[in-house]
């Protein structure tokens, strides 16, 4: 497992105290889905209610700027005080988090068997490198093999690893690519990569197989379709594997790491950053399942010019 210096996220956004006080008393209705997407009527209702709260629009604008502005790409929205006041596992709190997410893009679930928010707990018998495993989860983008992957992946921390492991890791994908040789970048732009399965998914287009790691769009905005797992679980030609391995090394070289606290809401712009997780602390099997690390995951699609995700 790579060893890196722990840092505080530079894109932390604290909620102004007057906004926190107003949101505690702001009761939002249950979210309705339109297919796999949060309904437009629900998002309008959430926005109507929350824009009346002091400094909400200012906070939402800051969030969007941090995620999409020059040099940005991820944010940690500090919602710990609201989580304490409302109960981190309560419907009221989760609807408020969904409303913040809807200020960025359209919440949706690509998995019809799961609700809008998906649990990511800890299972000691799972593949250690998976999201619910206990080992190092290497850099990746979610739904890497979809023609239309989520523009944002988001994680709400309910419980960190109480044994002290499981740091979140992020790396600027385009900065890593820029440090590669011209030959490696050319190989990564070839349609020669594949990873994973594709079954019963909604809202993410079709299976993309094979795919280029560099998608050929704006070099600072396009997806870097990478998952380090492809290096072990996909049959790649030697030259293409070496280029992907070089990228993996650069991602680790440029990574930042930090511990999410209860109520922290991490939003990652997948067109700019890749994410992962350091290994959980040893001894997970001795901790009751109800005390282990727990995150909730939500995906977002950017709106098109008409205001929809389609």
State residue 296's pLDDT score: 97
| Listed residue (254, 110, 268, 277) closest to 196, CA to CA | 110
Angle at 293 between CA 289 and CA 297, to 5 degrees: 115
Task: Return the number of other C-beta atoms located less than 10 Å from residue 305's C-beta.
Answer: 5
State residue 289's pLDDT score: 84
Query: Distance between CA 141 and CA 228 in Å, rounded?
Result: 9
Share of the chain above pLDDT 70, in %: 94
State residue 231's pLDDT score: 94
Beta bridge partners of 119: 296
- Please report which confidence band the pLDDT of residue 114 belongs to, taking 50, 70 and 90 as the band edges: confident
Average pLDDT, rounded, for the chain: 92
Hey, CA dihedral for 239, 241, 142, 251, is it positive or negative? negative
Per-residue pLDDT averaged across 208-216, rounded? 92
- Please report which confidence band the pLDDT of residue 216 belongs to, taking 50, 70 and 90 as the band edges: confident
State residue 2's pLDDT score: 46
Q: Using one digit for the tens of pLDDT, what is the confidence trace for 31-63? A: 999 999 999 999 999 999 999 999 999 999 999
**Is residue 305's pLDDT more than 60?**
no
State residue 290's pLDDT score: 85
pTM, two decimal places: 0.94
- Please report which confidence band the pLDDT of residue 9 belongs to, taking 50, 70 and 90 as the band edges: low
Q: Using one digit for the tens of pLDDT, what is the confidence trace for 71-106? A: 899 999 999 999 999 999 899 999 999 999 999 999
Domains of the chain: 12-301 (3.60.130.10)
- Please report which confidence band the pLDDT of residue 217 belongs to, taking 50, 70 and 90 as the band edges: low
Q: Using one digit for the tens of pLDDT, what is the confidence trace for 143-174? A: 999 999 999 999 999 999 988 999 999 999 99
Token reading at 177: 């690519």
**Is residue 1's pLDDT more than 50?**
no
Query: Distance between CA 278 and CA 2 in Å, rounded?
Result: 8
Per-residue pLDDT averaged across 267-292, rounded? 92
**Is residue 15's pLDDT more than 80?**
yes
State residue 53's pLDDT score: 97
């Amino acid at each position: 497992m790579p060893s890196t210096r722990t840092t505080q996220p530079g894109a932390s956004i604290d909620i102004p105290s007057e906004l926190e006080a107003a949101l505690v008393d702001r009761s939002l209705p249950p979210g309705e889905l339109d297919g796999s997407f949060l309904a437009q009527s629900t998002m309008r209702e959430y926005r109507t209610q929350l824009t009346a709260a002091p400094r909400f629009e200012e906070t939402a604008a800051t969030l969007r700027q941090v995620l999409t502005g020059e040099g940005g790409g991820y944010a940690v929205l500090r919602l710990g005080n609201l989580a304490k006041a409302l109960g981190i596992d309560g419907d009221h709190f989760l609807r408020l988090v969904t409303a913040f997410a809807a200020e960025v893009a359209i919440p949706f679930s690509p998995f019809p068997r799961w609700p809008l928010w998906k649990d990511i707990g800890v299972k000691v018998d799972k593949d250690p490198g998976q999201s619910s495993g206990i080992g190092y989860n290497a850099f990746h983008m979610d739904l890497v093999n979809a023609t239309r992957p989520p523009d944002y992946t988001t994680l709400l921390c309910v419980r960190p690893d109480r044994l002290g492991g499981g740091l979140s890791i992020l790396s600027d994908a385009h900065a890593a690519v820029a440090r590669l040789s011209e030959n490696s970048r050319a190989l990564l732009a070839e349609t020669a990569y594949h990873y994973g399965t594709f079954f019963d998914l909604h809202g993410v287009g079709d299976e993309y197989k094979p795919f280029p790691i560099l998608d050929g769009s704006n070099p600072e905005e396009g997806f870097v379709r990478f998952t380090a797992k492809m290096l072990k679980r996909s049959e790649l030609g030697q030259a293409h594997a070496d280029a992907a391995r070089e990228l993996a090394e650069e991602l680790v070289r440029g990574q930042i790491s930090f511990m999410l606290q209860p109520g922290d809401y991490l939003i990652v712009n997948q067109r700019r950053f890749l994410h992962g997780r350091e290994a959980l602390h040893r001894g997970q099997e001795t901790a009751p399942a109800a005390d282990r690390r727990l995150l909730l995951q939500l995906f977002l699609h950017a709106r098109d010019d008409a205001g929809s995700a389609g």
